[in-house]
């Protein structure tokens, strides 16, 4: 058995036993030339690893960790409607709606700043179906506001099954139910009436691929 196989096996056993093994400690134990390979193997395992059967004391300790709380807060923020996230990011950047509109039309080589501002204001008032906003607009807004693309994503980020952070099962169940409900309502909603659209309309109403 190689050193990598030995350490990986020990890590998996410790993980499954709920002992919360430290990745860094295991990498330190590996020969210098094997650390990259071990890191890859550990990462692959953690992508599929089941959540261990932690006891109540361990679950409470994990739930209280600052890193976990910050991660959950960030996930909750990204699950909020774009009508909430967009004005928050815009205020953080110190820009008015008109400022963002001016930069947005410049990105796409358009000249209808007022209509762009109207579209942005409708998003912030939650009066626009944001599932129809193109990815190009979201990418441009992220660049203008100095935000990560995920902060303006139309849907929630997905958690991997083997994510190292503990999350309460009731929270996951609630989020899944909300996502299914949203998808069901979207599937049953009638298609919007077709109307002639120019480039700006298509950017805000033409769908993700417009």
Q: What is the pTM of this model?
A: 0.50
Which contiguous run of DSSP H or E holds residue 9? helix 3-16
Residue 82 has a pLDDT of 87
23-37, 50-64, 137-151: lowest mean pLDDT where? 50-64
The string over 19-28, giving b where at least 16 C-beta atoms fall within 10 Å of a residue's C-beta and e elsewhere, is: eebeeeebbe
Residue 72 has a pLDDT of 55
Rounded Cα distance, 32 and 3, in Å: 11
58-72, 73-87, 118-132: lowest mean pLDDT where? 58-72
User: What average pLDDT score do residues 53-60 get?
Assistant: 75
Q: How many CB atoms lie within 10 A of CB 55?
A: 10
pLDDT above 90 covers what percent of the chain? 32
- Domains present along the chain, CATH in parentheses: 3-53 (no CATH), 66-188 (1.10.260.40)
Residue 160 has pLDDT above 70, yes or no: no
Residue 109 has pLDDT above 90, yes or no: yes
CB 156 within 8 A of CB 175: yes
């Amino acid at each position: 058995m190689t050193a990598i196989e030995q350490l990986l096996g020990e890590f998996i056993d410790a993980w499954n036993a709920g002992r919360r093994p430290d990745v860094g400690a295991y990498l330190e134990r590996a020969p210098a030339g094997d650390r990259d390979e071990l890191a890859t193997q550990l990462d692959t395992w953690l992508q599929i690893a089941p959540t261990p059967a932690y006891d109540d004391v361990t679950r409470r300790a994990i739930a209280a960790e600052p890193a976990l709380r910050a991660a959950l807060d960030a996930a909750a923020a990204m699950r909020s409607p774009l009508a909430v996230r967009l004005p928050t990011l815009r205020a953080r950047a110190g820009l008015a709606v008109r400022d963002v509109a001016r930069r947005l039309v410049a990105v796409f080589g358009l000249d209808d700043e007022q209509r762009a501002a109207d579209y942005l204001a409708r998003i912030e008032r939650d009066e626009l179906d944001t599932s129809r906003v193109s990815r190009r607009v979201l990418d441009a807004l992220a660049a203008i506001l100095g935000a990560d693309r995920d902060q303006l994503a139309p849907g929630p980020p997905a958690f991997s099954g083997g994510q190292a952070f503990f999350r309460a099962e009731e929270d996951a169940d609630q989020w899944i139910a909300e996502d299914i409900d949203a998808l069901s309502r979207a599937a049953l909603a009638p298609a919007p009436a077709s109307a002639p659209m120019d480039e700006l309309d298509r950017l805000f109403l033409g769908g993700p691929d417009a």
